[in-house]
Amino acid sequence: MIIILNPGATEAQLGELTADLEARGYGIHLSKGVERTIVGVIGTPERDKEDLIAQFESLSYVERVIPILKPYKLVDRAFKPEGTVLNVRGVEIGGRRLCVMAGPCTVESPEMLFETARFVKEQGAHILRGGAFKPSTSPYSFHGMGEAGLKLLAEAREMTGMPIITEVMDTRDVELVCRYTDILQVGTRNMTNFSLLREIGDTRVPVMLKRGWASKIEEWLQAAEYIASRGNYQIILCERGIRTFETYTRNTFDLNAIPAIKELSHLPVIADPAHGTGKWSLVNAVARGAVAAGADGVMIEVHPSPEKALKDGSQSLKFEVFAQMMRELAPIAGAVGRSL
């Protein structure tokens, strides 16, 4: 359940309430908005909720108590009605400005990475993406440069000023990747890797959680709850398409998920039209649709020579195509009250 305090509630009253909750053995998660403080209470038995609601609503500084019946509590919209806005090295995610994450699927070499980073920065991208550890269906495919790739991403950040996002795949690598990255990325294959989610939840590094390739929206939000329940509330969701019976595209991009997440959760949501389609020729159109549907940003794969890319060349945009996409996104962002 969540306890909403009156606008005039003092720190002393908040301390009194949290001490009471802790004495009862409940988990506590605070959300301090501009006007109100919300206290999330975890672990209350169903049989006691009615009595607890009556007890807490009798307090003069409590506005109301809302029972949360959904299996996810902390990422529910009711926990933070105004929505979450993350600030990563000065870049806001979830605010009025549309956030563009762009860069190569995989870090292949210093020359390719730095060239791409400079270009996407010039075109208005805000965050540099690039994989140092890459999951592959085949054990014989390229699996990334590891720490060497992380070091190159850090160099690119120094060069361009853009924060970086990169994937972490293994609990054993979380500490290493956190030393370099600004945002951790959890890929579709690891959305239900609960050991990894707990490990990331124990950090305070922002994380982008991609939807599992066959996961329902509720399952996706419960995965985010794993991270939030450990105290890391800096979570971004990423819709990247789900597997359906359609074979023309790599996945089926679920446009419904974007407004649905906005309705169900306070977390920002990013669209990944590259994985959602698997075809570079479809990426721009799907990106425009996602922005119109309310996405807080897009993640785009960009490569100077996609035909030579070691991973995902078929869905990577050439420089000139990315530049065109940025031009076409601007008026759509403006139409829905955002800017680039």
Residue type, 155: E
**Are the C-beta atoms of 75 and 265 separated by less than 8 Å?**
yes
pLDDT bucket at 140, cuts 50 / 70 / 90:
low
Query: End-to-end CA distance of the chain, in Å?
Result: 37
Of 133-137, 179-183, 310-314, highest mean pLDDT? 179-183
pLDDT at position 48 over 90? no
Give the contacts of 332 (CB within 8 A, at least 6 positions apart).
288, 291, 292
Residue 207: predicted pLDDT: 98
Q: Is 281 exposed, middle or buried (0-12, 13-18, 19+ CB in 10 A)?
A: exposed
**Are the C-beta atoms of 29 and 266 separated by less than 8 Å?**
no
pLDDT at position 325 over 80? yes
Residue 33: predicted pLDDT: 79
Judged by average pLDDT, the poorest of 48-52, 108-112, 245-249 is 48-52
Q: Which CATH number fits domain 86-335: 3.20.20.70, 3.50.30.10, 3.40.47.10, 1.20.140.10?
A: 3.20.20.70
Would 2-69 and 86-335 be classified into the same CATH topology?
no
Average confidence (pLDDT) over 190-208: 97
Q: What is the per-residue burial (b if ≥16 Cβ within 10 Å, else e) of 217-255?
A: beebbbbbbbbbbeebbbbbbbbbbbeeeeeebbbebbb
Judged by average pLDDT, the poorest of 44-58, 101-115, 177-191, 270-284 is 44-58
Q: Which CATH number fits domain 2-69: 3.30.200.20, 3.40.50.20, 3.90.1170.20, 3.30.70.1140?
A: 3.30.70.1140
Residue 213: predicted pLDDT: 95
Residue 32: predicted pLDDT: 85
Tell me the residue length of the chain.
Answer: 340
**Helix or strand or coil: residue 167?**
strand
pLDDT tens for 249-273 read 999 999 999 999 999 999 999 999 9
DSSP string for 56-94: HHTSTTEEEEE---SS--TTBGGGSTT---EEETTEEES
Mean pLDDT of the chain: 95
Domain extents for the chain? Answer: 2-69, 86-335
pLDDT at position 73 over 80? yes
pLDDT tens for 149-196 read 999 999 999 999 999 999 999 999 999 999 999 999 999 999 999 999
pLDDT at position 294 over 90? yes
Residue type, 252: T
**In angstroms, rounded to a whole number, what is the distance separating the alpha carbons of residues 152 and 39?**
41
Average confidence (pLDDT) over 311-322: 96
pLDDT tens for 21-44 read 999 999 899 988 777 899 999 888
